[in-house]
């Protein structure tokens, strides 16, 4: 039962993340870089900080907790993850929510699950390590099928249809950006792993396991914010869009801030849910190690379902949709296979 509860919590957070890029359509008179910076303040600073405060032991502080060890590596991995987060946003721009998230998150799932295991010295060819590797391989197979659906989609659509579905659609450029985003985004998982001493200090201080990892998440997102903020400000200067923050006033400004905040809290919900869900998986070591891949697989699934509803796949053949659905089924099967192996 604990396993099911943990998976449901992770799924709820994943559903929130898959919806986090929808509010951008409601933000008016701001360029992409302006939106990305403002929503980043909510997604990577404000909400993670509020979450971190839930894990402060009585009579202690966040500063003391971070002094337990691992804070600097977590931030550095966060800076690297920030490159992935930045290019992740660009992959949405070139491929749309469905395909962009599929390629980036699929790559992220594989590397983000295997890197911590490899660095910890786990044998990936025997026992639990082999089960973990099998799960990741099934996940990557599902991503490959979804990627093939994306190529079919590109062939079946006219240039006009591509522009209607995704304004800046560019398959080759989008795939390269999405792959880079996936590899660098895997550094988030490494950051969480590096911050283990902080999580253990919170647990030893009496903090519930549900919240113990949240201070580490803030450190990783803080590093990521630095990378993204530097790029967005550079783009503001280059494109002379910095004045947008001040030229929008009144109701429109409130509208933009509210939708940026909505995008931020939806994005953060995936990691809030991941940490809470993992606390129910402690009795299943492989499933616990596979939790990162589970989150990414669910993100891909929900984003593609949402992409279909938003008509990003409009104009493609039934065969293409069938291939997409097959890929999603393979993705979900990776979770089922690993979960059943732990029963």
Burial of 255 (0-12, 13-18, 19+ CB in 10 A): middle
Largest CA distance in the chain: 63
Residue 19 predicted with pLDDT over 70: yes
Q: What is the number of structural domains in the chain?
A: 1
Rg (CA), the chain: 20
User: What pLDDT, on a 0 to 100 scale, did the predictor assign at position 97?
Assistant: 63
C-alpha span between 92 and 187 (Å, rounded): 20
Tell me the residue range of the domain where 104 lies: 2-10+31-341
C-alpha span between 324 and 209 (Å, rounded): 37
- Chain centroid offset of residue 95 CA: 16
The phi, psi pair for 29, rounded to 5°, reads 65, 20
Domain membership flag for residue 56: yes
Q: Give me the mean pLDDT over the 37-61 stretch.
A: 94
- C-alpha closest to that of 99 among 146, 53, 158, 61: 146
Domain membership flag for residue 180: yes
Domain membership flag for residue 26: no
More confident residue, 307 or 7: 7
Percentage, residues of the chain above pLDDT 70 = 93
Domain membership flag for residue 22: no
C-alpha span between 233 and 37 (Å, rounded): 8
Domain membership flag for residue 102: yes
285-334 pLDDT tens trace: 888 889 998 998 888 888 888 878 877 777 788 888 899 899 989 988 98
Confidence of residue 45 (pLDDT cuts 50, 70, 90): very high
User: What pLDDT, on a 0 to 100 scale, did the predictor assign at position 226?
Assistant: 96
Confidence of residue 23 (pLDDT cuts 50, 70, 90): confident
User: What pLDDT, on a 0 to 100 scale, did the predictor assign at position 311?
Assistant: 77
- Chain centroid offset of residue 11 CA: 13
Enclosing H/E stretch for 16? helix 2-18
Number of Cβ within a 10 Å radius of residue 335: 23
Domain membership flag for residue 133: yes
User: What pLDDT, on a 0 to 100 scale, did the predictor assign at position 69?
Assistant: 93
| Contact call for residues 113 and 189 (beta carbons, < 8 A) | yes
Exposure string for 98-109, b = 16+ CB within 10 A, e = fewer: bbbbbbbbbbbb
C-alpha span between 322 and 256 (Å, rounded): 37
Instruction: Render 188-239 in DSSP notation, one character per residue.
Output: HHHHHHHTHHHHHHHHHTT--TTTTTHHHHHHHHHHHHHHHHHHHHHHHHHH
Q: What angle do CA 324, 327, 330 make, to 5 degrees?
A: 155
Domain membership flag for residue 150: yes
């Amino acid at each position: 039962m604990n396993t099911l509860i943990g998976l449901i919590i992770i799924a709820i957070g994943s559903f929130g993340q898959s919806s986090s890029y929808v509010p951008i359509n409601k933000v008016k008179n701001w360029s992409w870089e302006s939106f990305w910076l403002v929503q980043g303040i909510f997604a990577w600073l404000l909400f993670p900080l509020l979450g971190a405060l839930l894990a402060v032991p009585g009579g202690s502080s966040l500063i003391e907790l971070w002094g337990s060890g691992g804070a600097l590596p977590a931030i550095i991995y966060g800076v690297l993850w920030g490159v992935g987060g930045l290019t992740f946003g660009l992959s949405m721009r070139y491929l749309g929510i469905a395909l962009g998230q599929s390629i980036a998150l699929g790559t992220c799932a594989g590397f983000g699950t295997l890197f911590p295991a490899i660095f910890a010295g786990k044998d990936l060819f025997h026992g639990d390590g082999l089960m973990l590797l099998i799960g990741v391989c099934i996940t990557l197979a599902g991503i490959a099928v979804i990627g093939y659906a994306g190529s079919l989609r590109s062939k079946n659509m006219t240039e006009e249809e591509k522009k209607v579905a995704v304004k800046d659609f560019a398959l080759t450029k989008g795939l390269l950006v999405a792959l880079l985003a996936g590899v660098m985004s895997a550094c988030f998982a490494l950051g969480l792993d590096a911050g283990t001493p902080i999580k253990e200090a919170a647990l030893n201080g009496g903090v519930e396991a549900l919240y113990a990892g949240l201070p580490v998440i803030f450190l990783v997102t803080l590093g990521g914010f630095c990378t993204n903020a530097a790029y967005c400000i550079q783009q503001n200067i280059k494109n002379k869009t910095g004045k947008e923050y001040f030229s929008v006033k009144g109701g429109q400004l409130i509208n933009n801030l509210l939708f940026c905040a909505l995008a931020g809290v939806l994005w953060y919900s995936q990691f809030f849910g991941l940490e809470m869900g993992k606390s129910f998986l402690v009795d299943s070591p492989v499933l616990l190690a596979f939790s990162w891949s589970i989150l990414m697989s669910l993100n891909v699934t929900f984003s593609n379902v949402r992409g279909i509803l938003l008509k990003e796949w409009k104009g493609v053949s039934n065969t293409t949709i069938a291939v997409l659905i097959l890929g999603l089924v393979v993705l979900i099967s990776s979770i089922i296979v690993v979960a059943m192996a732990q029963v």
